[in-house]
Every structure is written in structure tokens, then in C-alpha cells.
């Protein structure tokens, strides 16, 4: 399993507490996390702006990616959670418990674009119920 220091080193990024904190949080989680979920029990550990800029830095270096949901909320996940190399970023969002998962592997999307349109990347959010919530509800 890859370590935080390796991830930072590979991108020529300095090792700072905030970067380590965020990457660790995502490494330990099997789902995507919002800024507040990441902060968890330490909401004041880093300045809001530092956290904000660190997320940008990690995204720019291809370590994490942002997932914007239909309710305007945002979650983050490690890029390593996506296996496919075809620029298809697909995610599941549970309407009940709000959990967000990166969908690895077997996703497929096809769209017929207007003439001469060029596609660079595709973002998919599937809204529904996760297994737990589906069994509890009705």
C-alpha cells in the first residue's frame, strides 16, 4: 500500500501537515469525503484558507479529484480510486445517507455529440440508495 510520503514525493510536493492530514484521511476512507468530513474531529486544526488551497494544490498535482454533486456540495477522493484511464469519472451518491463512492471499473458511457464537438472528460453522478439505505427504506 502506498504511503503519504511516497505520494507527496512522487509529485515533488513538500511535506506539510495539512497535505498529510488530507491524504491520510482519504487513504483511510473507502468513500469520498467533504471538507468537513475530512476535518472530522479537528475542524480548527488548519485555517480554512490553508485547507482550501491545499485541496487545490493536491488536485492540480493529480493526487485527488473533486466531485461536485447535484446539491452543490463537494466531495474529494484520491485519484487512485479510479481504475479506468478513459477520463470517465463516475460516482454514486446516496440520497439518503449522503455517502459518495467512486465507481471503479465497469462503467460505460456513450453520447452522440453535435458535429465537431470534442469531448475531453465525462463526469457522472448516479443518485440513488446505497445497499444499507435501500434495505431500511420501505
Q: Using the rule CB under 8 A, is 6 a contact of a second copy? A: no
**Residue among 73 and 80 whose Cβ is closer to a second copy:** 73
Q: Using the rule CB under 8 A, is 68 a contact of a second copy? A: yes
Q: For residues 74 and 35, what is the distance between their CA atoms, to the nearest angstrom?
A: 8
Find out whether 70 and 127 touch, Cβ atoms under 8 Å.
yes
Q: Using the rule CB under 8 A, is 72 a contact of a second copy? A: yes
**Residue 106: CB minimum distance to a second copy, A:** 4
Longest dimension (CA), the chain: 51
Q: Using the rule CB under 5 A, is 130 a contact of Zn ion? A: yes
| Touching Zn ion, residues 45-104 (CB under 5 A) | 94, 96-97
Query: CA 117 → CA 40, 110, 111, 114, 123, distances in Å?
Result: 42, 14, 11, 6, 17
Contact residue for DNA among 4, 27, 29, 50 (CB under 7 A): 50
Contact residue for DNA among 40, 53, 62, 97 (CB under 7 A): 53
Any long-range contacts for 131-135 (C-beta under 8 Å, 24+ apart)?
A: 132/97, 133/94, 133/95, 133/96, 133/97
Helix (H, G, I), strand (E, B) or coil at 54: helix
Which partner from the list DNA, Mn ion, a second copy, none does 107 bind, CB cut-off 5 to 8 Å by kind?
a second copy
Q: Using the rule CB under 8 A, is 127 a contact of a second copy? A: yes
Amino acid at each position: 500500500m502506498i504511503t503519504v510520503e511516497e505520494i507527496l514525493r512522487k509529485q515533488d510536493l513538500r511535506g506539510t501537515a495539512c497535505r498529510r492530514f488530507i491524504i491520510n484521511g482519504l487513504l483511510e476512507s473507502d468513500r469520498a469525503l467533504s471538507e468537513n468530513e475530512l476535518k472530522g474531529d479537528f475542524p480548527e486544526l488548519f485555517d480554512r484558507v490553508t485547507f482550501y488551497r491545499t485541496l487545490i494544490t493536491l488536485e492540480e498535482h493529480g493526487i485527488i479529484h473533486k466531485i461536485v454533486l447535484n446539491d452543490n456540495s463537494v466531495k474529494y477522493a484520491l485519484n487512485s480510486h479510479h481504475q479506468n484511464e478513459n477520463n470517465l469519472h463516475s460516482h454514486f451518491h446516496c440520497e439518503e445517507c449522503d455517502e459518495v463512492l467512486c465507481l471503479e471499473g465497469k462503467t460505460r458511457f456513450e453520447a452522440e455529440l453535435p458535429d465537431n464537438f470534442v469531448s475531453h472528460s465525462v463526469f457522472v453522478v448516479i443518485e440513488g440508495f446505497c445497499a444499507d439505505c435501500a434495505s431500511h427504506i420501505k
